[in-house]
Structure 1
């Protein structure tokens, strides 16, 4: 599966020699084949403001890239921008200044509106601080993420004003927020207004807000300073052609800066944005490089001149008539999308943007949520917004963007898919709760609490369970509740070790055909995966969790042919575990391993994450060679505070594999002696001291040794008050012993299995492990087992 193959963020070997043109073209062709074509009727980016670039922009960008000019600095001042791509940038910005009624403006091209907003707020911060103001940024809760990012980078306070039924700021709301800021001592007021919100297409009343801020500054000129920035990334290349009288731009004297995104409706390739500012403001961020003597007011410094050439060519190729025709066609497509939504759900609440190619819809079935497959196909992102009816309620809205690349064929395909999705959502809702057996029966709920397998409560969606078909992925799981597939369980009889023995599966009449079949007792859980899940699993085809006294838990993994693969001895902490993973010819210590699964946002799709502080693997070879370090990879400094590698929302979106430190050591099976970890690490970049964040010991140092008998590690806490070291120790012969002693069950053809076979195998596994799985040489988390 491709998403697993590329999911490991590790270094790869730098090419020793150049690849052949044939090899390069083949690799690039494979990558290009993974990208959805703009004209593809099955995969349309309806939820995002993206469009195919204009052919002229592509041609000029390619031609001028070979020239490789650097447009560092700002070229809009008198006497600057006299030649080449710097002149083309100046001319392109001058054309935009006229489009936005700005008169003489300064500015520069950026990588996008995000950088332009950062640059604008940097100017505003510096000029307001010059007058001694403490600063507060006011914006809508619906603002683009770049506003919060800029405030964080610049270390200025940000207040997000709640969205009301108009989905836009109101002059009263801004006036009240400004008064509250001034009363609190924040007399430097920066307002970020939007001319076209990304998720609705709506525009703030820029002219009204600008006038009020200007009045406020005029009334208290020595006490209050105001700055208004307009984020026109979405509407900057729409409103001038669909609503030329809409005063969102520099025709209002109180507008000081504006960010626009030519790489959206302007039909430029990524990355092309622009910052436009009033004269006299750039000087607040001017810096003179002491080495080159080049003045630079930008954030990035070096900038590609080819982008300026391509933008100039695109603006002058299309002109006002070209852009007007383009945006008119986009509004027509928006209306066709509106009709498609209305046909699929006549009771849906539709909210089209007045002058933008966006329509938002709240669907009428219970919950109003669209199936995750449809959202993935069309890149749809739901958002909870106030009901425009103004009754104080909120509803779930999806927005649909009609870009210049959208075709009638694509709209027709979307209409069919949406109608099917709405019908599916209504069918699921009509079933209601209790239509089939709950998966949270006492037996299954207890299984979820103790086992390390998740397949009893999530399942791959119908039609995406075969690894050979498109769409099968490591994280495309969905709740069984969503599919209507439930877990059945039945008491099979008494367990040999005492208590009841239960079996469970999605369908006990056909127990090995859908994800898993399981056995559970008071002492263990064992699960056999179906054929598809065996191909997905990274750790085998049979999993057995052995429950032991205290916080220790053991997970046994078996290959599809029934042979023992590994045993994971887990010392459970508050978050995660310290593990010893025992293989027939290797031992791996995982310190501070944290595994989690999360629903992806606004869907029933799952993503999984593994975050480990330190992984130390010792593999044995059929030689007498002394231990040697094969890999010593230092990825993160555990002495610095860090959050989990990904935030919760990122966990929900992307699979994650992350290690602070990775060590791979090799030692001969017949080697005799002792090798100390510090000595092995001394020649590496890690040095003699290895630190980790243990699930049971907290921040600690990891020391220890490798002997001919096994791996011995000591985790010494660094936090005060310090406690005794925690030991992780295992003999090398344990894995081979388990491999030889544990029973085998061939599950390569699970449909040929019987429940009786699995129950007998499970009982034997528990008996053998209870007798042989906890030798005296095994120590984990300070307790000898």
Structure 2
């Protein structure tokens, strides 16, 4: 898979021939071995997620029905429906669960999970409120409400208002009352506003239950008193609905409240069902607000998904009637015992921790006593733990935000699981964390350094070096192939700030500075750099970074002394470990976002709208992202062959605005690489057809890209007079830019720029690198001068005085 090799996200070819049975079994077995088991203490334990081993009865029943697996499309709880087969089993299971939640009568169906059930609830609520003449519909929930509520509101086009949870971590009735007052005051007289209030019975990150009965009383009172608000009440019981009826039946979160209209459950969590299985329930008469005719099939469909698995409905029935209340009570007695044992293990590891078992629920919430309260990444990964900042009233009465982790005591957990976690936690809490051992953040540079070097403590010429691998993950040879996608960390968090000092090693090259994490061992830890802060910088990577680098073993950047402007690029020369030139990069734009040309000996790459970003995930946890709107890759052959388009891959539509980088929480690998469009061409180095330029036909018509200089542009590659030309024309006619690259430039640059071998960095001396850097600056500065624009024509050349259109000698 390409994405596991270089971070890109291209598709794989569909296989033409089946794999042999033995190979198929081996590959499936290898993937199955990568999925954690449930019962071995040595397997990764999902303490931070509400997941558990499915009940054998559910698996057996699902398998029994899987071969036939009828489509349970539609609703089966209405009178006269659900009379045979798996539809009857679904009807009986759903209505029994409705009875468990004190409904006198209800409709509902088996969903893919609580996300779908919440979408169904808000959809029914929205349509019911609109039927009550509400022109505006608002969703009102807590800031701690599950993200599925925001997602459903976005899908349905509803306004979302969040009430601060406060130190109680619940949606309080008073907060609902105040929000309703505010909405009523905002509504013009006679204009009805619909409000869908979402309560939670078992918050994901605390396990707590909202005072649903008090909220329902507020809604009932306001409905009885009239006014311009129309009200609907949905309860997200994904994390409590299958537990509380058996552990705390007195908690009134369900249909015993007249102003609870719909509820969603998640039996694939503590209910012992395999994924994916949820249940949506609502009061009689409401499902019709979600009915859509299906004339080609001859029925009405009130569900979100339409087609649904009959085998899954049969599996749910088998647990409702085969485990029943007695069985579930026994299961959750075990879970509460595990919950209390977890709480005890946390207190034993950190006696000063704040440990809060959730009443009636199988969740423990804990905040640790050391500074910042953050647990080590290895522990978080092994036990799948997630921390959230929550409002907290400290013992001294002050309010603050504090980091709390949640732990789920699920049915499959054993004493061995808990004891193993307690041992690992105790070791982690005793060990010094980066936040406690970090030296004070100060300027580690020597006094009197130029202002340009003040930020070099945590940065470098290469954006990747804002972040570094943790010490135990430095050598990729000791890790699987996905090593390069492992988490990086903030340099300062690892106590490896760059140190800088003036170069005075040999009396030559005055005005230069050297830098490294450890200048006493300059080539043993990540990089060694040489810089004239107003002109250039050269960085040589250490042995491990060279193995990981996508752009060579050493990088030289020329950025001055002339001020940077739109028509003068930064020029980077990248070198292989043996000292030969890898590529020269011309960057037009700012440090992070630019249009760029890369010239290799036998390849020219034009990148339109390249955005490089170091992404802070959380804490001291970083990743790196490269996003490029268009990448044109031209392979230069050693002949006179005509230009040929080999491939055009259109990954996304640049005309549609999109987020250039993922959301912070989505980064799991290094690097992330994305392209809107990729074009691959070949052309002979000696091709020089006279006359008009050769413009290759590109499948799919016009090629668009988001340029760093001109925003949305049409891109036209062509070959004329020995040059590759790439023309960017703004679709709004605001301008045009032309990049012109002689086909022989790569060979010329390879002869012009030479380096020193750096593959054995420990054998280098700082003086060798300083001398190399000083010698590289004049020719690379000349390249930068040669790349100056005439208007918007950027002709790249090795000759400072070369006019546009002049071919480079090969």
TM-score, normalization by structure 1: 0.93
User: 1:300/1:99 Cα in 2 relative to 1: closer, same or farther (>3 Å)?
Assistant: same
The answer to whether the Cα contact below 8 Å between 1:475 and 1:605 also exists between their aligned partners in 2 is no
Query: Counterpart of 1:600 in 2: which secondary structure?
Result: strand
The answer to whether the Cα contact below 8 Å between 2:51 and 2:410 also exists between their aligned partners in 1 is yes
C-alpha distance in structure 2 between counterparts of 1:495 and 1:121, whole Å: 74
Q: Is the aligned partner of 1:489 residue 2:500? A: yes
Equivalence map 1:111-510=2 (5 Å): 111-133=112-134, 134-185=136-187, 187-220=193-226, 223-388=228-393, 391-425=398-432, 428-429=435-436, 433=440, 437=444, 445-447=454-456, 451-454=460-463, 456-470=465-479, 472-493=483-504, 500-510=511-521
Deviation (angstroms), 1:140: 0.7
Deviation (angstroms), 1:764: 2.5
User: 1:669/1:747 Cα in 2 relative to 1: closer, same or farther (>3 Å)?
Assistant: same
Task: Name whichever of 329-338 and 754-763 sits farther off.
Answer: 754-763
Q: Is the aligned partner of 1:553 residue 2:570? A: yes
Partner residue of 2:644?
A: 628
C-alpha distance in structure 2 between counterparts of 1:496 and 1:778, whole Å: 38
User: Which ranges in structure 1 are unaligned for 5 or more consecutive residues?
Assistant: none
Task: Name whichever of 346-355 and 191-200 sits farther off.
Answer: 346-355
Deviation (angstroms), 1:58: 2.2
Which of 525, 532, 557 is 2:537 aligned to? 525
User: 1:431/1:224 Cα in 2 relative to 1: closer, same or farther (>3 Å)?
Assistant: closer
The answer to whether the Cα contact below 8 Å between 1:42 and 1:410 also exists between their aligned partners in 2 is no
User: 1:769/1:679 Cα in 2 relative to 1: closer, same or farther (>3 Å)?
Assistant: closer
Q: Is the aligned partner of 1:690 residue 2:703? A: yes
User: 1:645/1:240 Cα in 2 relative to 1: closer, same or farther (>3 Å)?
Assistant: same
C-alpha distance in structure 2 between counterparts of 1:126 and 1:447, whole Å: 58
Deviation (angstroms), 1:496: 11
User: 1:488/1:676 Cα in 2 relative to 1: closer, same or farther (>3 Å)?
Assistant: farther
Deviation (angstroms), 1:55: 2.1
Q: Is the aligned partner of 1:732 residue 2:739? A: no
Deviation (angstroms), 1:451: 4.8
C-alpha distance in structure 2 between counterparts of 1:659 and 1:176, whole Å: 48
Deviation (angstroms), 1:217: 0.9
Query: Counterpart of 2:478 in 1: which secondary structure?
Result: coil
Query: Counterpart of 1:342 in 2: which secondary structure?
Result: helix
C-alpha distance in structure 2 between counterparts of 1:496 and 1:691, whole Å: 54
The answer to whether the Cα contact below 8 Å between 2:466 and 2:614 also exists between their aligned partners in 1 is no
User: 1:675/1:396 Cα in 2 relative to 1: closer, same or farther (>3 Å)?
Assistant: farther
Deviation (angstroms), 1:232: 0.4
Task: Name whichever of 274-283 and 89-98 sits farther off.
Answer: 89-98
Which of 609, 612, 627 is 1:592 aligned to? 609
Partner residue of 2:585?
A: 568
Partner residue of 1:710?
A: 723
Query: Counterpart of 1:421 in 2: which secondary structure?
Result: helix
C-alpha distance in structure 2 between counterparts of 1:438 and 1:210, whole Å: 62
C-alpha distance in structure 2 between counterparts of 1:449 and 1:694, whole Å: 29
C-alpha distance in structure 1 between counterparts of 2:36 and 2:298, whole Å: 46
Q: Is the aligned partner of 1:72 residue 2:73? A: yes
Task: Name whichever of 374-383 and 297-306 sits farther off.
Answer: 374-383
The answer to whether the Cα contact below 8 Å between 1:439 and 1:445 also exists between their aligned partners in 2 is no
The answer to whether the Cα contact below 8 Å between 1:369 and 1:396 also exists between their aligned partners in 2 is yes
User: 1:147/1:450 Cα in 2 relative to 1: closer, same or farther (>3 Å)?
Assistant: closer
Q: Tell me the alpha carbon deviations over residues 92-149 of structure 1, each in whole angstroms, 9 at most, x when there is no partner.
A: 1122112111122110111110100111111111111112113221111100001111
Give the length in aligned residue pairs: 778
C-alpha distance in structure 2 between counterparts of 1:640 and 1:278, whole Å: 42
Task: Name whichever of 406-415 and 306-315 sits farther off.
Answer: 406-415
Deviation (angstroms), 1:320: 1.4
User: 1:333/1:266 Cα in 2 relative to 1: closer, same or farther (>3 Å)?
Assistant: same
Deviation (angstroms), 1:31: 2.2
Deviation (angstroms), 1:708: 5.7
C-alpha distance in structure 2 between counterparts of 1:651 and 1:235, whole Å: 30
Deviation (angstroms), 1:560: 1.8
The answer to whether the Cα contact below 8 Å between 1:677 and 1:703 also exists between their aligned partners in 2 is no
Deviation (angstroms), 1:340: 1.7
Task: Name whichever of 255-264 and 333-342 sits farther off.
Answer: 333-342
Q: Tell me the alpha carbon deviations over residues 40-84 of structure 1, each in whole angstroms, 9 at most, x when there is no partner.
A: 536222211111212222232233222131111001111111112
RMSD over aligned CA atoms reads 2.8
Task: Name whichever of 434-443 and 519-528 sits farther off.
Answer: 434-443
Equivalence map 1:603-642=2 (5 Å): 603-642=619-658
TM-score, normalization by structure 2: 0.90
Q: Is the aligned partner of 1:758 residue 2:782? A: no
Task: Name whichever of 693-702 and 53-62 sits farther off.
Answer: 53-62
C-alpha distance in structure 2 between counterparts of 1:364 and 1:204, whole Å: 28
C-alpha distance in structure 1 between counterparts of 2:336 and 2:513, whole Å: 60
The answer to whether the Cα contact below 8 Å between 1:676 and 1:705 also exists between their aligned partners in 2 is no
C-alpha distance in structure 2 between counterparts of 1:642 and 1:344, whole Å: 46
Partner residue of 1:513?
A: 524
C-alpha distance in structure 2 between counterparts of 1:194 and 1:605, whole Å: 31
The answer to whether the Cα contact below 8 Å between 1:93 and 1:107 also exists between their aligned partners in 2 is yes
Task: Name whichever of 113-122 and 705-714 sits farther off.
Answer: 705-714
User: 1:214/1:362 Cα in 2 relative to 1: closer, same or farther (>3 Å)?
Assistant: same
User: Which ranges in structure 2 are unaligned for 5 or more consecutive residues?
Assistant: 797-810
The answer to whether the Cα contact below 8 Å between 2:61 and 2:314 also exists between their aligned partners in 1 is yes
C-alpha distance in structure 2 between counterparts of 1:324 and 1:263, whole Å: 17
C-alpha distance in structure 2 between counterparts of 1:57 and 1:252, whole Å: 32
Deviation (angstroms), 1:203: 0.2
C-alpha distance in structure 1 between counterparts of 2:679 and 2:371, whole Å: 52
The answer to whether the Cα contact below 8 Å between 2:695 and 2:717 also exists between their aligned partners in 1 is no
